[in-house]
Structure 1
């Protein structure tokens, strides 16, 4: 048997820039055993700068220039931390993300640059920076889709500003557009005279007003005021001037040049374990202008040298080219090529640029299938069937099926203690001591995300669901952990992240974390045993009466989305929003629904399975209005594409006598296993609208999804 290789080194990539995106692809194809790879970036998508002018011009849709970091991280086996880095401590080997510290043995910076524009009066409120690219991509899509006259100002007349202003003029030709380029010095002062003349001629043909030698004094919602008092009408002001390094680098202790991280030929900074690439880096050994072509060509050297730094290997030098071919979009499907001071424009050059850009994006989206480890031959009968044709889901998708669980529980002897009350069908038990009513439950989850902080938050919310479902107040908790086999230092780092996350969730819920137990195993598993106190009799599965309305506090679909994420078929933003839904606590919802006739949390057995449990315990039936059940964004599309959790079939079989009206993907989602799902409550019909309004006011996307009925069984209508 191949030994399990322990994790011994942490590699942290800070920023999802072009070099890091390419590195993730290479890492997925050739990882270094023993290294835990982490990517930190503010969002699940990062924009590819080469295609952004084409998007502004209308040549590409919003998705085309976006690099999906969630998919890339899954391919590379990396944990993804969605957050903005704010500090780097090379001595301690830590990067700060929010109020969280992430340890590293080697780190790499690819965070690009930011803009000086926010320092301009009014820009923060009314302007849109060209970098970082994400906000411009989002806001422009909304603006371009509007109607009526369009007035745009681009501040900054470098190559980036010139491309954007021409793209804006072309993209708004369906509207009565007035587009202005403002430059405090000379437009395109850094390019050759022939290239400048060619671009200015193209701007004139597009009707762009060019203002040179004028600084900007203020930006307002409908105008840009210049230093000399002139006013330029603008409803959409883009800041493409004053690119500067990220300010937090100044406190890193790294040697900087004008705020940029100084690097040598091996791409190492003054701290040998910290590398930097792309626009945030300054090549002290051979200075070059900021351009994406250098980041792309640095990627293979960065990949090799990070591996060498973590394995004791030999590094190699990066040698930048003296000049490079500049392809500049000219608004329409035409481009200019410039090198060695010569420039030419032609539609064929845009086709060439488009082909280069699409090839780059295809490399990061059409990721190769690396294949699973081959089974030995022979194997016992049933092994291949048990493994199936896809990886086992994590979270509640990895639970034992309801049928097997019922059979096991049915064989248990009846409890005999007077102070312990078993509640048939409920996940929590009731302990009565000196008149105090305490509920207790335990739950653990096989990790479905690589980030132990996020996984801990999901697991804690999930475990507390049983307490909240009984309208109890969380009291205390212990944690049970299985960590992947790793070095002592990595154990320390990981345990610190997990315990901090657990404390935050439990403290917010009003529960005290007492401690717990940990061990090493093959993969991360996080569990909690939780207790809660009931001021009155707990709300259970039994007690629902015909005519009661059914309220659901969270949308469903997490099992399908997480199964798709494992297969790299779920869009990054869909996954990120599912994570956000899963970590939403249900404490306030539990308080609002405390007077419910019956209540449960919707978890592994799916909405239909848990509603069937209420029906069985209450001795009546229910109608579930499938069309009114809220779904997580993207879940229906993934289900229609055929994605199913590994627990789906068991949930269909274990839900009991379910009468299904119209079938289809939406109906199938009623059997989708949920992790850290919402509360499902049967409430008096007369109170339903009031409770629904209170839940929505408290921030829950709650909905009325059905009603209890006389006839036993569950009907999906």
Structure 2
């Protein structure tokens, strides 16, 4: 930030409410020198306050999900989509399920709780009310099947506390609203529904009765099966959907660590710091404060967030920490299924539609705080400047990835002075890779590529850059051979340099090894921003594929969607849906060796779709092969969210030059000119082989899309 080198790593494990609020505050006032990492299984985190309303059908999925991708972009943090499995406090590392450990100087844990129960059959046939996102997804699936008549609308909720009753009413209301005769039963081990005063209990009981919900008390669950909940000394409860809401249970992995804890919950002091560990904090339902025990409720995490934010900064700077004393009494607002709610505090309870509207305003205000983030500010240059500076600064911000490439027209002009291939060089500049004859026979191909970072995570960026560079080798139908890395890391402390390079090397090596090649070294330096590149070589016994071999009648097959440039440009500006960003990045990080193996056997010409967009790369095949092409707009695959962003006017900084360099007749589609990072392979395949190729790709778990057909011509592109 502003040229200040990073010296300390802050790691936030979990995307709970407190961490979300910390990220928002962090983005408003970043701490210079602190590098922030967030670890969470998914790109969004559910807001507990709106879950019952979502289950009942009052809110869509988007309304209750906190977009962690946007929050992390706002805060300048990297987001790692993975699950923590343990913490090594001696080495100060968080270990993850799907990648290597992440080091920290200061860390905080906000992973919530689980409602998974140790009951016979529950793992196979039940679902805990927490984690909320897992439960919400399973509920949506069950509701759709119940409405379609595929399953009986029998629901059981184990646990008659506030959470269990609230979810039971929400599910019963949703089923009734869908004209399904719901049969919902709440199972409570005690003599009555719990967690509320007598007056509130009467109101809740009446609301549940009005929805046809039955309550079983003094009921001990013995087993959960596919179609019933078996009780001790009572008839079973028929249920195809069983929800566990009987108490709060800690995540099992925490119990396996040496973190101070009580019954699996992390023990923290008044400053939210883990007992005896100055580098570790915990907050929310996963933590317990022995000096001030409180129920598990989201209100405490929300109110603890400002103190956590202050103390994290204090731990990173050596400052003084604050203490936090949670309130003894708090307002409970309980949804009653429909748009009505009950409020309870100090033993007094009231209910009505106006309370639901009040709760709705509170919930929406909270979510608006996390969604209403400032737009990226345009650069401002004070004083006198040379002509042309204003025009460049007024244009779109420079993108990362392939969106930062130089335009094809500019590049072609610069390459005109290069001498044609001679001697052992069969082909030079102009294709995906240069082709060299090997002394012992066969051919070698060589290429180089590098990317400005599109994400804050060095490991994920290394994976994408490696896949992107290897695409040139796969496009030639060659087997990757050796790889050299070129890495520019921002100025930072020696410790953070080592951590970054370890992560980059580990992830790059995994991609390279999976492709059957070897990472043999490279060059590393410090610079203004993270940039990762690779020089790659490959071998092929026969002449490698080029863009020049396409034939009349060939069909174009594309292996990946378009739109990564639009999505990444929108992400930079804080305008993209985090789920769309995460989905696109996941595809971009997947190697394409299986696709290449299938296509290389039959393709007449092949390339990979990268910076010049689909139109530019199709034109390269057409110009080199003497072909025209008709592209089928509706057949071209597009990343989720990319079409809507494009229609809203979002585009990458390279889009205008791509459009100018590869004109297309007929219909218009800006996504044809969208620069792709780690884009799909584009192959010209004989029409007679298309069906077999698509089947072979599917058998390998890969995608293949017929997007157009070639005919003899002079390089004209038409979109229909």
8 Å CA contact 1:15, 1:110 repeated in 2: yes
Residue in 1 aligned with 2:701?
A: 699
- How far apart are 1:479 and its partner, in Å? 0.5
Residue in 2 aligned with 1:131?
A: 130
Aligned with residue 155 of structure 2, among 146, 152, 157: 152
- How far apart are 1:372 and its partner, in Å? 4.2
8 Å CA contact 1:62, 1:141 repeated in 2: no
- Distance in 2 between residues matched to 1:300 and 1:393, nearest whole Å: 34
1:499 aligns with 2:505: yes
Q: Which range moves more in the overlay, 686-695 or 385-394?
A: 385-394
Residue in 1 aligned with 2:171?
A: 168
Residue in 1 aligned with 2:371?
A: 365
1:335 aligns with 2:337: no
8 Å CA contact 1:116, 1:242 repeated in 2: no
Deviations 1:283-334 (A, max 9, x none): 1221111111110000000001101111121111112112111111111111
1:437–1:231 CA distance, 2 compared to 1 (3 A):
same
Residue in 1 aligned with 2:296?
A: 290
Aligned with residue 303 of structure 1, among 294, 304, 309: 309
Residue in 2 aligned with 1:18?
A: 17
1:440–1:229 CA distance, 2 compared to 1 (3 A):
farther
- Distance in 2 between residues matched to 1:33 and 1:186, nearest whole Å: 56
Aligned with residue 630 of structure 1, among 633, 637, 650: 637
Residue in 2 aligned with 1:402?
A: 408
- How far apart are 1:140 and its partner, in Å? 2.0
- Distance in 2 between residues matched to 1:705 and 1:82, nearest whole Å: 32
- Distance in 1 between residues matched to 2:278 and 2:115, nearest whole Å: 28
8 Å CA contact 2:432, 2:476 repeated in 1: no
1:502–1:340 CA distance, 2 compared to 1 (3 A):
same
- How far apart are 1:678 and its partner, in Å? 0.9
TM-score normalized by the length of structure 2: 0.96
Secondary structure (helix, strand or coil) at the match of 1:680 reads: strand
Deviations 1:153-182 (A, max 9, x none): 111111111110011111111211111111
8 Å CA contact 2:334, 2:342 repeated in 1: yes
- How far apart are 1:715 and its partner, in Å? 1.5
Residue in 2 aligned with 1:191?
A: 196
- How far apart are 1:58 and its partner, in Å? 1.3
Aligned with residue 474 of structure 2, among 446, 451, 468: 468
- Distance in 2 between residues matched to 1:485 and 1:180, nearest whole Å: 60
- Distance in 2 between residues matched to 1:612 and 1:110, nearest whole Å: 51
Residue in 1 aligned with 2:624?
A: 617
Residue in 1 aligned with 2:526?
A: 520
8 Å CA contact 1:555, 1:701 repeated in 2: no
Residue in 2 aligned with 1:101?
A: 101
- How far apart are 1:144 and its partner, in Å? 2.5
Residue in 2 aligned with 1:40?
A: 39
- Distance in 1 between residues matched to 2:242 and 2:397, nearest whole Å: 48
1:323 aligns with 2:322: no
Aligned with residue 589 of structure 1, among 577, 587, 595: 595
- Distance in 1 between residues matched to 2:584 and 2:376, nearest whole Å: 26
1:669 aligns with 2:676: no
Deviations 1:575-605 (A, max 9, x none): 1110121122111111111131100011111
Residue in 1 aligned with 2:614?
A: 607
Q: Which range moves more in the overlay, 286-295 or 340-349?
A: 340-349
Residue in 1 aligned with 2:88?
A: 89
- How far apart are 1:48 and its partner, in Å? 0.4
Uncovered stretches (5+) of structure 2, i.e. residues with no partner: none
Residue in 2 aligned with 1:453?
A: 459
> Number of paired residues?
709
- Distance in 2 between residues matched to 1:286 and 1:571, nearest whole Å: 39
Q: Which range moves more in the overlay, 467-476 or 279-288?
A: 279-288
- Distance in 2 between residues matched to 1:227 and 1:609, nearest whole Å: 70
- How far apart are 1:229 and its partner, in Å? 5.7
1:255 aligns with 2:260: yes
- Distance in 1 between residues matched to 2:645 and 2:376, nearest whole Å: 23
Residue in 1 aligned with 2:115?
A: 115
- Distance in 2 between residues matched to 1:687 and 1:229, nearest whole Å: 65
1:444 aligns with 2:445: no
TM-score normalized by the length of structure 1: 0.97
Secondary structure (helix, strand or coil) at the match of 1:243 reads: coil
- Distance in 1 between residues matched to 2:366 and 2:92, nearest whole Å: 33
8 Å CA contact 2:554, 2:684 repeated in 1: yes
Residue in 2 aligned with 1:266?
A: 271
Secondary structure (helix, strand or coil) at the match of 1:450 reads: coil
Residue in 2 aligned with 1:239?
A: 244
1:147–1:186 CA distance, 2 compared to 1 (3 A):
farther
Deviations 1:463-505 (A, max 9, x none): 0000000110011101100001100000010011000001100
8 Å CA contact 2:407, 2:657 repeated in 1: yes
Deviations 1:13-71 (A, max 9, x none): 00000000001000000110111111100001111000000111111112111111111
Secondary structure (helix, strand or coil) at the match of 2:62 reads: coil
1:646 aligns with 2:653: yes
8 Å CA contact 1:17, 1:112 repeated in 2: yes
1:42–1:542 CA distance, 2 compared to 1 (3 A):
same
- Distance in 1 between residues matched to 2:592 and 2:499, nearest whole Å: 29
Residue in 2 aligned with 1:477?
A: 483
- How far apart are 1:238 and its partner, in Å? 1.3
